[in-house]
Chains A and B, each alone.
Chain A
Amino acid sequence: MKISKIKEILTADTLAGEERIDTEVICACGSDLMSDVLAGEAKEEFVLLTGLVNPQVIRTAEMVDMRAIVFVRGKTPTPEVLELAEEKGIVVLSTKCPLYIASGLLYTNGLRGAGSVETAL
């Protein structure tokens, strides 16, 4: 799914990386715990949905090469955080949607998590 499609589904604003909005992602993960993200399977073609907006969210994405981050619940990061995202080439979206609803919307539109439902259970 293109990041631009995620933006559309979540009625999100683009806060950083506008020029990369047509990049494809194939998986999503949702977490407010960065250690959990680092312990998981997130990689290049992943988008991270999170309610945290501190610079370590950008760093976490950087470490595993994630292409995009969606800030949920209308959280607004500081300009420094967005600058860091620009520097790292990460697309940042912001939606008013809470994490659970945002995840549900993307999932029902075909964006899956890592692995199959069977392996997740």
Chain B
Amino acid sequence: MKLHYEVDGEEFAAAGQASGNIKKMLKQLGIASDVIRKISIAVYEAEINMVIHADGGTVDVDIQTDKIYIALKDTGPGIPNIDLAMREGYSTASDEVRDLGFGAGMGLPNIQKNSDFLKITSAVGVGTTVEIEVNL
């Protein structure tokens, strides 16, 4: 089963809507609660990143028999050094974003912690794709 969501990059207030909808859908499908928790946290952090660091984008979910695959794609500024970005505490977020409770450089580490597979593909000036898998 495949799901598709658009994420508006203009509105910080709306960030998390896609994650909320995905969570609701997984609940309805009767997916195990520990799996839902991991996906909710990972996708929410990635959706927030898409809004605070890029210009919004798309979220695609593929519910397979043995795992759930999620791809978050944006056409934002890209990540010049992914290893550096993955480091806990590394952040280029503005003070404005920090005042809202994010931007502590914990998003990508949180995503890593809550996924069974994580792949970040990024090109400067082109965009970033974050692929997450959680096993069922």
State the A residues within 8 Å of B (CB): 32-36, 38-39, 43, 50, 52, 54-57, 59-60, 62-65, 80, 88
Does the CB pair A63–B113 fall under 8 Å?
no
Beyond known contacts A38-B110, A59-B15: 20 more, CB 8 A cutoff: A33-B101, A33-B102, A35-B45, A35-B102, A35-B104, A35-B106, A35-B107, A39-B113, A43-B37, A52-B101, A55-B16, A56-B101, A56-B102, A57-B101, A59-B20, A59-B44, A60-B44, A63-B40, A63-B41, A88-B20
* Inter-chain CB contacts under 8 Å: number: 68
- The answer for the CA separation of A38 and B37 in the assembled complex, in Å, is 10
User: Does B12 belong to the interface (CB within 8 Å)?
Assistant: yes
- The answer for the CA separation of A30 and B106 in the assembled complex, in Å, is 17
Smallest CB-CB separation from B107: which chain A residue? A35
- The answer for the CA separation of A57 and B15 in the assembled complex, in Å, is 11
**Interfacial residues of chain B within 1-40, with CB under 8 A of chain A in the complex:** 12-13, 15-16, 19-20, 23, 37, 40
Smallest CB-CB separation from B27: which chain A residue? A65
Smallest CB-CB separation from B14: which chain A residue? A55
Does the CB pair A39–B106 fall under 8 Å?
yes
Taking the closest CB of chain B, its distance from the CB of A73, in whole angstroms, is 14
**B interface, size bucket:** 20 to 34
- A88 proximity list for chain B (CB < 8 A): 20
Partner of A38, one of B15, B20, B44, B100: B44
Does the CB pair A62–B23 fall under 8 Å?
yes
Smallest CB-CB separation from A52: which chain B residue? B101
User: Does B48 belong to the interface (CB within 8 Å)?
Assistant: yes
- The answer for the CA separation of A15 and B40 in the assembled complex, in Å, is 26
